[in-house]
């Protein structure tokens, strides 16, 4: 049997013409999954995403005013807290400074009182407090006394002898008023006694000069809860004690 001859595709005619007119590169589909769109395919293309920060829109109107008011309140609160902290820090600094200055002044004052060999202390008998410390028969363990319960009447400033000596309870009451008691042995030399008596004129109305048989030092001075004991006669130390502590008692007569 004779074989049939295959026809070759015609290079002319309508079909061939359409093939020639097709643009190059449009005769194939893009690879699957490449994300490349087919030429001319714009129907399914996604719009470009906006660049930059994204988020909730800014509040407007009443919400914006409320947000601004809250921000202002927070700023005021922070400012007030900072001011309060600064004030507290300043107060603490001042208090600490005052305490340190007071301690320094106390050390310097005591050093001046003891410079000549005298001894300063704050020994005193306890008492029931202002308004409750008047008793009928007070006694004292600290000698010479510098505080404690006392009689209702106070001894007056001046120079006393053994014959005119007021009871300790009246002397202690005078100390509560801010007076100073200067104690000496009954056998004190006359010149030293005259030097002490002069103090009652120098500090008129503030000093009592009293003999004391139990005194074991050359001279002593007491104020309310303060004492100075001198093993030898030291008028300058006694005068300095008077200047420092007179009118410092807890009971103000004025």
Which neighbouring-strand residues pair with 120? Answer: 228
* Span 42-60, average pLDDT: 57
Distance CA 27, CA 177 (A): 123
Residue 10 pLDDT > 80, yes or no?
no
* Span 86-95, average pLDDT: 85
Q: What is the CATH number of the domain that holds 195?
A: 3.40.30
- Token duo for residue 205: 């109305």
Residue 16 pLDDT > 50, yes or no?
no
Please state whether the predicted TM-score (pTM) of the whole model is above 0.75.
Answer: no
Do 181 and 99 have their domain in common?
no
Residue among 158, 220, 157, 155 at smallest CA distance from 185: 220
* Span 120-143, average pLDDT: 90
Residue 19 pLDDT > 50, yes or no?
no
- Mean pLDDT score of the chain, rounded to an integer? 82
Residue among 195, 222, 115, 210 at smallest CA distance from 158: 210
Can you give the residue range of the structural domain that contains 99?
64-113
Do 155 and 208 have their domain in common?
yes
Distance CA 165, CA 185 (A): 13
Burial 188-214 (b: 16+ CB within 10 A, else e): beeebbebbeebbeebeebbbbbbbee
Stretch among 58-72, 162-176, 201-215 having the lowest mean pLDDT: 58-72
Do 94 and 210 have their domain in common?
no
Q: How many folded domains does the chain comprise?
A: 2
* Span 150-159, average pLDDT: 95
């Amino acid at each position: 049997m004779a074989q049939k001859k295959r026809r070759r595709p015609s290079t002319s005619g309508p079909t061939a013409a359409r093939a020639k007119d097709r643009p190059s590169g449009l005769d194939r589909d893009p690879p699957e999954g490449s994300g490349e769109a087919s030429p001319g395919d714009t129907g399914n293309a996604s719009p470009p995403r906006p660049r930059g920060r994204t988020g909730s829109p800014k509040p407007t109107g009443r919400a914006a005013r409320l947000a601004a008011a809250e921000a202002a309140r927070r700023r005021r609160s922070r400012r007030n807290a900072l001011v309060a902290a600064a004030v507290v820090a300043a107060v603490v600094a001042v208090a600490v400074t005052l305490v340190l200055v007071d301690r320094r002044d106390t050390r310097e004052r005591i050093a001046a009182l003891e410079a000549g060999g005298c001894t300063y202390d704050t020994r005193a008998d306890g008492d029931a407090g202002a308004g409750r410390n008047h008793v009928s028969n007070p006694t004292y363990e600290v000698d010479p006394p510098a505080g404690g319960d006392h009689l209702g009447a106070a001894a007056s400033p001046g120079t006393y002898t053994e014959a005119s000596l007021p009871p300790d309870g009246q002397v202690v009451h005078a100390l509560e008023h801010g007076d100073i008691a200067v104690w000496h042995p009954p056998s004190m030399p006359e010149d030293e006694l005259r030097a002490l008596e002069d103090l009652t004129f120098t500090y008129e109305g503030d000093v009592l000069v009293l003999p004391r048989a139990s005194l074991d030092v050359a001279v002593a001075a007491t104020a309310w809860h303060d004492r100075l004991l001198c093993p030898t006669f030291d008028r300058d130390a006694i005068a300095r004690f008077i200047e420092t502590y007179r009118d410092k008692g807890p009971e103000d007569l004025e």
